[in-house]
Amino acid sequence: MAESKHFIHEIIDEELKEGGRCYGQTVHTRFPPEPNGYLHIGHAKALEIDFGTAELYGGLCNLRMDDTNPTKEDEEYVDAIKEDIKWLGHDWGDRFFYASQYFEQMYGFGVELIKKGLAYVCELTPEQMKEMRGDTTTPAQSPFRDRPIEESLDLFARMRAGEFEDGSLTLRAKIDLASGNFNMRDPVIYRINRLPHHRTGNEWCIYPMYDFAHPIEDALEGITHSLCSLEFENHRPLYDWVVNNISVECKPRQIEFARLGITHTVLSKRKLRNLVETGMVSGWDDPRMPTLCGLRRRGYTPKSIRDFHEKNGVSKVNSVVEYAFLEYCLREDLNKTAARAMAVLNPVKLIIDNYPEGMTEEFEVENNPENPEDGTRIVTFSRELWIDRDDFMEEPAKKYFRLFPGNEVRLKSAYVIKCVGCDKDADGNITAVHATYDTESRGGNTADGRKIKATIHWVDTATAADAEIRLYDRLFTVEAPDLADVNYLDFVNPDSLTVIKGAKVEASLKACKPEDRFQFLRVGYFCADSKDSSPTHLVFNRAVSLKDSYRPE
């Protein structure tokens, strides 16, 4: 994993050459999700960077729930996040933490800053603070900036004790009201907010702000490199200010990288939650969702997702990657790993007139020609088979080489057959196709070497299983539903799911397990649905089509 080096690794290599700022420790990173939703493919990028960098340097990566904001967090998400990370193949060992477990220490550092004259309790309301934040030419103001240390200490303690209204007082770091970086204009580091917290309950009515909490969490855990996305770049001076002004031994270094964007989808937990809550999708794990659980249910492999991030690389320039590239990475992996099977999505009966009634043959076929060690399986063959309606045309179109009266095709791995006609009902609908088989062509090759242009897939009616097939398309009809000035909900693709109820699949699939992945010959890559598929009601999700619309340069 993460074998290719990127700019973050170059920075670390330089540091190590200079004796390192890792204090003799190995590289120690962390992945800090906010437990307010499920992880998506963008988080997987951060996961690859955090865990991948640790792995590359023989270091460690912590998993930390960033739960300092009590408004929207939920324990439900914590378990889901852990499961998704494990599924991707990452291991945090016994280093699982909650930011909220450091609340007491954070409070202590707040006190320390006040004592050092580096923080003060401010009585400006949020509105007043906004009015007094100044602009590029005017510094911000606070009439409380020079309040005596003792007074701030007393007020801060009473804030904690619950003596003041929500939003009435804040603790602010005393840095630089004239700073060109507005994050440094005496940022609020604590606010009063009487909301129960999913872990600490009603113990606290003051909560630390992210910019204060995060560097403390990192420092307390001995994190050497705090890797985060680009939107925190302007916050780095504050990050450094915090670790440099509190009594911690470890001084982690923040390095930012570009966020991942993908076409035809949204990558924000808020928007994804909205899709779930408005019923546009069936849940966070709907196979159309870019969430890890959705991609997994769709049929994505951990390897395909890791390859996708690996190939995209890591830089400081935000970019949007084509959705088709993600599909390409999946196809590449499934081509090597997915077992082949035959499934007929739109079945019509094929009757082989000269094949003895009641006779059955077994053909041993390779599970995956790309991977001979995957072994073989048996498919049965008899007089009546299912084939796809599209593989027969009574009046062939130009360049149509499949079944039409008089034409020969190969039934995959079985026999060469010649179409002799079809049956129709009173309305003219085709109810069965008739053919004769070449008894000399067992296995699919002609004895006289004559060329057969087309090969079609089939399923034995005697042993076939019924299946429900779910075909998925892009969730959004436009490339960039995420743009600020459009309402992404207006662009949800109404045809993103097509359900086929009466498909016929080969008998071996009756034994498949949830999440087993297959290449249905000539049809696409499919995955047994983890929620709805059972031996008595098989359900397969199309993970990706066979055709490759994407060609990497």
Q: Which does 88 bind (CB under 5 to 8 A by kind): ligand ATP, Mg ion, none?
A: none
If you search the block for the tokens 């960077």, which residue do you land on? 49
- Residue 393 burial (C-beta neighbours within 10 Å; 0-12, 13-18, 19+): middle
Q: Taking contact as CB under 6 A, which single stretch among the options 31-39, 87-95, 123-131, 188-196 is the one that binds ligand ATP?
A: 31-39
The H-assigned helical ranges of 28-116 are 41-56, 75-88, 103-115
**Angstrom distance (rounded) from CA 265 to CA 269:** 12
Q: Taking contact as CB under 6 A, which single stretch among the options 28-36, 112-120, 163-171, 317-325 is the one that binds ligand ATP?
A: 28-36
* The binder of ligand ATP chosen from 15, 34, 332, 548 (CB under 6 A): 34
- Please state the φ and ψ torsions of residue 443, each to the nearest 5 degrees: 95, -20
45 contacts ligand ATP (rule: CB under 6 A): yes
Q: Taking contact as CB under 6 A, which single stretch among the options 130-138, 261-269, 401-409, 460-468 is the one that binds ligand ATP?
A: 261-269
Beta carbon of residue 388, minimum distance to Mg ion (angstroms, whole number): 47
Of 82 and 147, nearer to ligand ATP (C-beta) is 82
Active-site option among 72, 133, 194, 259? 259
215 contacts ligand ATP (rule: CB under 6 A): no
Q: Is 287 helix (H, G, I), strand (E, B) or coil?
A: coil
Q: Where in 145-271 does DSSP place strands (E)? A: 170-173, 188-192, 206-208, 225-229, 253-257, 260-262
Beta carbon of residue 367, minimum distance to ligand ATP (angstroms, whole number): 37
The H-assigned helical ranges of 319-385 are 323-337
**Do 200 and 208 touch, CB atoms closer than 8 A?**
no
N residues, the chain: 553
309 contacts ligand ATP (rule: CB under 6 A): no
240 contacts Mg ion (rule: CB under 5 A): no
Q: Which does 383 bind (CB under 5 to 8 A by kind): Mg ion, ligand ATP, none?
A: none
What is the number of the residue whose Cβ is closest to Mg ion? 34
Q: Taking contact as CB under 6 A, which single stretch among the options 116-124, 186-194, 262-270, 302-310 is the one that binds ligand ATP?
A: 262-270
Active-site option among 64, 185, 253, 269? 269
Active-site option among 15, 21, 34, 273? 34
294 contacts ligand ATP (rule: CB under 6 A): no
**Do 175 and 148 touch, CB atoms closer than 8 A?**
no
Of 259 and 522, nearer to ligand ATP (C-beta) is 259
275 contacts ligand ATP (rule: CB under 6 A): no
Examine the residue annotation and report whether 269 is marked as an active-site residue of this protein: yes
Cα angle value 454/460/464 (rounded, 5°) = 125
* Contact map string, positions 21 to 50, toward Mg ion, x by CB under 5 A: -------------x----------------
72 contacts Mg ion (rule: CB under 5 A): no
Of 125 and 268, nearer to Mg ion (C-beta) is 268
**Closest to 411 measured CA to CA, from 364, 345, 462, 350:** 350
- Residue 93 burial (C-beta neighbours within 10 Å; 0-12, 13-18, 19+): exposed
Q: Taking contact as CB under 6 A, which single stretch among the options 234-242, 263-271, 485-493, 510-518 is the one that binds ligand ATP?
A: 263-271
Beta bridge partners of 207: 191
**Do 15 and 21 touch, CB atoms closer than 8 A?**
yes
Examine the residue annotation and report whether 297 is marked as an active-site residue of this protein: no
**Do 99 and 68 touch, CB atoms closer than 8 A?**
yes
**Do 299 and 526 touch, CB atoms closer than 8 A?**
yes
Beta bridge partners of 376: 366
Binding site for ligand ATP (CB under 6 A): 32-34, 42-43, 45-46, 66, 228-229, 259-260, 267-269
Binding site for Mg ion (CB under 5 A): 34
* Catalytic positions, written as ranges: 34, 259, 269
